[in-house]
A and B are shown apart, each in its own frame.
Chain A
Amino acid sequence: MTEIVQLKKFYGSHQILEISNLQLSKGVYWIKGANGSGKSTLLKVLAGLLPFAGEILIDQISIKKQPVAYRSAINYAPAEPVYPSFLSGQELVNFYSKIKKGTTQQLEELKSVLGIDDYLKNPVGSYSSGMIKKLSLLLALTGKSNWIFLDEPFTTLDVSSQKALSRFIQSNSDTGFLLTSHHDILPEDIRLKGVYHLKNKKLEAEKY
């Protein structure tokens, strides 16, 4: 269960988010919203990348009181991933799997799902935007997390990878997934448990 309590996020004096109370049981959720509505900020807050006012709990683990345990319970892939250009994808994968306790078998499975081939050995600076996106998804799906936050996961992916990813998400929906997208349609393979619309700083449930 993910619980958001009295969450407020400001950039300077400019308020971006105001979510009074939200509880999500495990499943796949979709957060919709226009560009600049605060979807990425919400996911960054949930991932522990940005400070905020309020409280977030994952299975009763508080982001503020148990920051390390909380981060063990979640994974996150940004909308526009940025990695050091001189590091190879393999180095990043090793770093993540060491910390997130990912297994070789799991990594191989994820590589085949996302269609990542030998390029992991090359420096990230030589990757295309689609390859960087796949790398960020691979990292976010590494290890065993309770919740995975994916910001615009289908953007820049080719059609076959989009389908493979949506099938993967659906088959692993015992893990909670929070997906964002500014598009109106998500791939058909995903059966959503809920849809929320982020508008005027607030998160509103939509009929689905």
Chain B
Amino acid sequence: MYFLFFLLFGISPSFKQALDTHYYIILSILTNNISLFIYALLCMLYLLKCTLFYGNHIRKNEYQFLQLLNGMETGRRLAVFLPMTITLLAPLILYTGCVVGVAIKNHLFFNMVIPVALMFLLILICVLIIRFLNKNADSFALMPTLRLSKQPVAIWWFLLKFSFREQFWTLIILKILSFCCLYFFVITDSSIFENRILWLLITLCLVAHSVLIYKNFYFLENKLSFYRSLPIHPIKILISIFFYYVLLLIPEYWALRGVALLHHNSYEYFCILLAAPAILTLIHCLLYGDDLNMEGFLGLVFLLWIVFFFFGFTHTKWLVPVVAIAGCLIVFLLSFKGFEKNASIEKLE
């Protein structure tokens, strides 16, 4: 969220100017068809996110009591789901309120019909989807999965499946932002291209992967924790994690290929190729140090970002991958075996 906020408003010199920028964005939604289309698309993405959220929760034991609602009459059931839907879609409803406010202020009464109608349509669709999911809780688990004739069986493959199945929208949003950010900077003219800004952007994009990494880690240690009882050498586990991050960074590798092709700096591109997955693996390994909550983890990641941001300034760029790889190895070997999830003493007693 902080990262998105930084991208959306962080460049404005004052809060008033940030609000002004947003005011004009809303105005363009009301007056420009392409902006309206993008707005509708984002609303639908949010709807999808909400329904995925509900679908994932209804299958958990602690939320299964919600299935008792299936015994109610259809009309009453929909009346129960409506407030839930309004709560889930509250950010969209509030934003539509802002759109209506701006439309009234600018006397664009006809133009506000589509955003308002869209809002009502989304509420209706959301209620119907929630009703369906409530009735067919396990339908989510039976969603078609990618079936290759021979799937690899390895930790990196399970992580990759987890990213695409359980973090799909986070992954898509992150990759679009990261790819655009790097690609459009790299294709700038050589006379304007600034190497230090490139490293600033790369480290920022890598740090933005922290949310994914945090969830990957807890997936590995909670849902896939049985791997610890299997005879796999720790270094193989580290290599598997590293390989997964290499695969995850393919869009960024493609976006950055201009460093070698346009700016004729193959050496620097090679350093990026190695450093990027190593930094992500290092962030992952930091979690083995302690059973951190998200806040503590992000604090640690911020420190790491500062370190690599300044390393990006150095002329000896080979230092960046070397430091990242050495950091991975040291942190992993020191903390992997001793890692243990915090247990609540109250529960034990």
Please indicate whether A and B come from the same complex rather than being unrelated chains. yes
Residues of A within 8 A of B (CB): 11-12, 14, 16, 36, 47-51, 67-72, 74-76, 78, 81-88, 91, 94-96, 98-100, 122-126, 139
Give 25 pairs: A residue, B residue, CB < 8 Å, sorted on A: A11-B343, A11-B348, A51-B338, A51-B339, A51-B340, A67-B234, A69-B231, A70-B231, A71-B230, A74-B229, A75-B229, A76-B226, A82-B222, A83-B226, A84-B161, A84-B162, A84-B219, A84-B223, A85-B141, A86-B141, A86-B162, A87-B158, A94-B151, A124-B141, A139-B226
Q: Counting CB contacts under 8 A, is B138 at the interface?
A: yes
Contacts of A49 in B (CB 8 A): 225, 228-229
A114 CB → nearest B CB, Å: 18
Q: Are A86 and B230 interface neighbours, CB within 8 A?
A: no
Q: Counting CB contacts under 8 A, is B326 at the interface?
A: no
Q: 19 additional contacts, CB 8 Å, given A48-B229, A51-B339, A51-B340?
A: A16-B348, A49-B225, A50-B340, A51-B337, A68-B232, A69-B231, A71-B229, A71-B231, A76-B226, A82-B222, A83-B223, A85-B141, A86-B162, A87-B161, A95-B153, A95-B154, A123-B141, A124-B141, A125-B140
Bound-complex Cα distance A75 to B229 (A): 7
Bound-complex Cα distance A202 to B265 (A): 65
Q: Whose C-beta in chain B lies nearest to the C-beta of A70? A: B231
Q: Are A99 and B224 interface neighbours, CB within 8 A?
A: no
B94 CB → nearest A CB, Å: 33
Contacts of A86 in B (CB 8 A): 141, 145, 161-162, 165-166
Q: Are B231 and A14 interface neighbours, CB within 8 A?
A: no
Select one of A16, A85, A87, A99 contacting B230, CB under 8 A.
A99
A52 CB → nearest B CB, Å: 10
0 or 1 for each of B325-349: is its CB under 8 Å from A? (1 = yes) = 0000000000001111011010011
Q: Counting CB contacts under 8 A, is B131 at the interface?
A: no
Residues of B within 8 A of A (CB): 59, 138, 140-142, 145, 151, 153-154, 158, 161-162, 165-166, 219, 222-226, 228-234, 337-340, 342-343, 345, 348-349
Select one of B59, B142, B224, B339 contacting A84, CB under 8 A.
B224
Q: Are B233 and A126 interface neighbours, CB within 8 A?
A: no
Bound-complex Cα distance A181 to B224 (A): 24
Identify the interface centre among B138, B153, B339: most chain A CB within 10 Å of its CB. Answer: B153
Q: Are B229 and A36 interface neighbours, CB within 8 A?
A: no
Contacts of A71 in B (CB 8 A): 229-232
Contacts of B337 in A (CB 8 A): 51, 67
Contacts of A48 in B (CB 8 A): 228-229
Bound-complex Cα distance A50 to B140 (A): 33
Q: Are B231 and A68 interface neighbours, CB within 8 A?
A: yes
Contacts of B232 in A (CB 8 A): 68, 71, 99
Contacts of B141 in A (CB 8 A): 85-86, 123-126
Bound-complex Cα distance A100 to B264 (A): 49
Select one of B231, B233, B343 contacting A12, CB under 8 A.
B343
Bound-complex Cα distance A94 to B138 (A): 24
Contacts of B223 in A (CB 8 A): 82-85
